């Protein structure tokens, strides 16, 4: 089945290119050479392409890029007088929770601390890649919806959920606030692992804490993310939210400070916000979901992943199987406690509030899939967030310099990936169930996790660069579809996970890449 579908992608991509050649207006020649209108290999736009004698398109100009040599690790000595300084303002709600999570907001636990610098050229490459790749992933999402019959099985979403995904795309395509790319900087340039378009973390660290730390210890260079918060405010302003915004998160400290940081941006945009930790206080009165104060919940931003919703939906929906059908959720799928019931102590299990009493309670699924709910990030972000989109991008943008070739066909591995490959689950998160194979196709690294039964994707190998025995992954935020900032994830393992460290990165002139930035 998967091999057939991958073959279908190849055929459709070829026919789409052929159609573009015949339908797009183009001048008869480019610099005196025969030309035709074709899909750009580096953009979703159609462009005029000169044709070679072999009727192949000439390569476009080189894209801005960043390589592993643009990034440098440094160590700075921290004087005792600075090491014990609280570099963050604990009066800010999100900082107070961050401090609780970390145990401290002191500058350093030792006499020396690491940080990184990136050249201006490398920074320009990250910004360009983030902006262009966001558009490419959006194009791929549209392509999947246009070819749903062939491509939907790759994603393993319930058939009855696809109409809601299409509706979400049709009505809420602009409701993206923030999303994060995971990049590897290789000797030849940026390579994309995946796009976390739904419920990504590390936003506060990128937009706030790394710059505060850099300023306190006196690093030179410039910030890579000093506009991120103002971009968030602008993004929320542009969404024109009607009514209050409820921010939903699990009872987890990291999710709480992430949510509070987002809440601060939404409130700066003039939106009245309410943070709800867990969902045990939410009730359904037959018409609306309501918070503990009785306020109707109509607009939701959440840290709950859509994958949590998928799990609950598959377990609860009577038509979640392969038979296509439409679904309208006016009322919860799961039984709901009476709105007047007294709250009881609950525990949260994968997004579900499990009452210690006799009445089942609302599930995350019930809230986020309700027809009356406007959700950020919207349901359609399941598409770009799924690794199943990566083979689609490979077919739409073959040999694109920012992409890693990907396939579902295990038989293609030996020919497509002579330098090694990575096997990863389609719905996996935080580096779980990932296996890395070298150029001899020998297993060199692997992680466990909960996605061992998931569909497996094979991706061209691009190892993370290593600096002083530490592997570094570059994570770039797209705010409302545009570059917002970069945060680095660092680990002794070449597979980055949820516990990997985060370090400050400063941007320096190209000729200062190997030098220590001057103090501010």
DSSP string, 106-146: BS-SSSEEEEEEEEHHHHHHHHHHHHHHHHHHHHHHHHHHH
Looking at residue 21, what is its pLDDT?
A: 33
Answer yes or no: is pLDDT of 58 > 50.
no
Tokens, residue 214: 């850099």
Looking at residue 61, what is its pLDDT?
A: 59
What are 306-357's pLDDT values in tens digits?
Answer: 999 999 999 886 555 433 333 333 334 443 333 333 333 333 445 443 323 3
Looking at residue 499, what is its pLDDT?
A: 79
Average pLDDT, the chain: 82
- Please state, for a pLDDT cut of 70, what percent of the chain lies above it: 77
Please state, in angstroms and rounded to a whole number, the distance separating the CA atoms of residues 221 and 219. 7
Query: Left if phi > 0, otherwise alpha if psi is -120 to 50, otherwise beta: which for 485?
Result: left
- Which residues, in sequence order, are CB contacts of 104 under 8 Å at separation 6+? none
Answer yes or no: is pLDDT of 237 > 50.
yes
- Please state, for a pLDDT cut of 90, what percent of the chain lies above it: 64
What are 381-430's pLDDT values in tens digits?
Answer: 999 999 999 999 999 999 999 999 999 998 888 888 999 999 998 876 66
- Let me know the angle formed at the C-alpha of 366 by 362 and 372, rounded to the nearest 5 degrees: 125
What are 253-309's pLDDT values in tens digits?
Answer: 999 999 999 999 999 999 999 999 999 999 999 999 999 999 999 999 999 999 999
Looking at residue 497, what is its pLDDT?
A: 80
Residue predicted with more confidence, 12 or 67: 67
Looking at residue 476, what is its pLDDT?
A: 98
Q: What is the b/e burial string over 333-353, where b = at least 16 CB atoms within 10 angstroms of the residue's CB?
A: bbebbeeeeeeeebebeebbb
Residue predicted with more confidence, 517 or 510: 510
Answer yes or no: is pLDDT of 361 > 50.
yes
Residue predicted with more confidence, 514 or 489: 489
Mean pLDDT for the stretch of residues 37-53:
40
Answer yes or no: is pLDDT of 33 > 70.
no
Looking at residue 319, what is its pLDDT?
A: 56
* pLDDT band, very low/low/confident/very high, at 54 (cuts 50, 70, 90): very low
Among 66, 63, 64, 61, CA closest to 49:
61
Looking at residue 426, what is its pLDDT?
A: 83
Answer yes or no: is pLDDT of 183 > 50.
yes
Answer yes or no: is pLDDT of 57 > 70.
no
Answer yes or no: is pLDDT of 165 > 50.
yes
Looking at residue 320, what is its pLDDT?
A: 54
Answer yes or no: is pLDDT of 231 > 90.
yes
Answer yes or no: is pLDDT of 116 > 70.
yes
- Which residues, in sequence order, are CB contacts of 482 under 8 Å at separation 6+? 130, 131, 134, 231
Looking at residue 67, what is its pLDDT?
A: 98
Looking at residue 115, what is its pLDDT?
A: 97
* pLDDT band, very low/low/confident/very high, at 233 (cuts 50, 70, 90): very high
What are 67-79's pLDDT values in tens digits?
Answer: 999 999 999 999 8
Answer yes or no: is pLDDT of 472 > 80.
yes
pTM, to two decimals:
0.83
Q: How far is CA 16 from CA 21, 22, 56, 70, 133, in A?
A: 9, 10, 16, 37, 20
Q: Give the distance, in angstroms, between the CA of residue 514 and the centroid of all CA atoms in the same chain.
A: 31
Give alpha helix (H) positions in 317-432: 364-368, 382-385, 389-396, 413-416
User: Which run of H or E residues covers position 313?
Assistant: helix 306-316
E strands present in 155-243: 178-186, 189-196
Looking at residue 429, what is its pLDDT?
A: 64
112-119 vs 505-508, strand pairing mode: parallel
Please state, in angstroms and rounded to a whole number, the distance separating the CA atoms of residues 228 and 475. 14
Among 313, 316, 392, 371, CA closest to 155:
392
């Amino acid at each position: 089945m998967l091999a057939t579908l991958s073959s279908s992608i190849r055929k459709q991509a070829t026919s789409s290119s052929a159609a573009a050649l015949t339908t797009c207006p183009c001048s008869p020649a480019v610099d005196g050479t025969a030309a035709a209108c074709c899909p750009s290999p580096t953009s979703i736009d159609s462009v005029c392409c000169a044709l070679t004698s072999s009727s192949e398109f000439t390569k476009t100009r080189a894209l801005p890029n960043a390589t592993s040599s643009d990034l440098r690790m440094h160590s700075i000595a921290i004087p005792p007088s600075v090491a014990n300084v609280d570099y963050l303002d604990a009066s800010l709600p999100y900082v107070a929770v961050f401090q609780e999570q970390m145990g401290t907001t002191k500058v350093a636990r030792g006499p020396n601390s690491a940080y990184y610098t990136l050249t201006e050229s490398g920074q320009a490459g990250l910004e360009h890649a983030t902006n262009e790749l966001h558009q490419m992933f959006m194009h791929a999402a549209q392509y999947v919806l246009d070819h749903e019959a062939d491509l939907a099985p790759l994603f393993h979403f319930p058939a009855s959920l696809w109409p809601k995904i299409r509706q979400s795309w049709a009505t809420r395509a602009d409701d993206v606030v923030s999303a994060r790319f995971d990049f590897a900087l290789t000797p030849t340039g940026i390579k994309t692992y995946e796009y976390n378009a739904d419920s990504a973390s590390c936003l506060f660290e990128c937009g706030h804490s790394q710059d505060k730390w850099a300023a306190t210890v006196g690093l030179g260079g410039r910030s890579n993310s000093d506009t991120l918060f103002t971009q968030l405010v602008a993004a929320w302003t542009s969404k024109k939210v009607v009514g209050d915004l409820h921010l939903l998160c699990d009872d987890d400290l990291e999710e709480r400070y992430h949510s509070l940081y987002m809440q601060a941006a939404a409130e700066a945009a003039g939106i009245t916000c309410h943070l709800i930790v867990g969902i045990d206080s939410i009730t359904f009165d037959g018409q609306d979901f309501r918070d503990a104060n009785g306020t109707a919940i109509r607009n939701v931003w959440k840290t709950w992943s859509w994958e949590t919703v998928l799990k609950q939906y598959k377990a609860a929906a009577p038509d979640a199987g392969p038979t296509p059908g439409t679904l309208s959720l006016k009322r919860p799928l799961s039984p709901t406690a009476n709105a007047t019931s007294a709250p009881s102590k609950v525990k949260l299990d994968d997004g579900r509030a499990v009452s210690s009493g006799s009445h089942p309670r609302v599930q995350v699924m019930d809230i986020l899939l309700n027809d009356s709910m406007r959700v950020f990030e919207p349901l359609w972000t399941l598409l770009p967030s799924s690794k199943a989109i990566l083979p689609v991008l490979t077919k739409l943008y073959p040999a694109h310099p920012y992409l890693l070739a990907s396939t579902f066909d295990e038989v293609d591995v030996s020919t497509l990936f002579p330098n090694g490959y990575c096997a990863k689950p389609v719905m996996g998160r935080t580096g779980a169930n990932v296996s890395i194979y070298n150029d001899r196709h020998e297993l060199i690294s692997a992680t466990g996790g909960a996605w061992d039964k998931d569909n497996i994707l094979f991706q061209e190998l691009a190892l993370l660069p290593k600096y002083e025995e530490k592997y570094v992954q570059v994570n770039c935020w797209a705010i409302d579809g545009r570059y917002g900032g970069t945060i680095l994830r660092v680990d002794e393992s070449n597979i980055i996970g949820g516990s990997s460290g985060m370090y400050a990165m400063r941007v320096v002139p190209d000729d200062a890449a190997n030098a220590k930035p001057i103090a501010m």
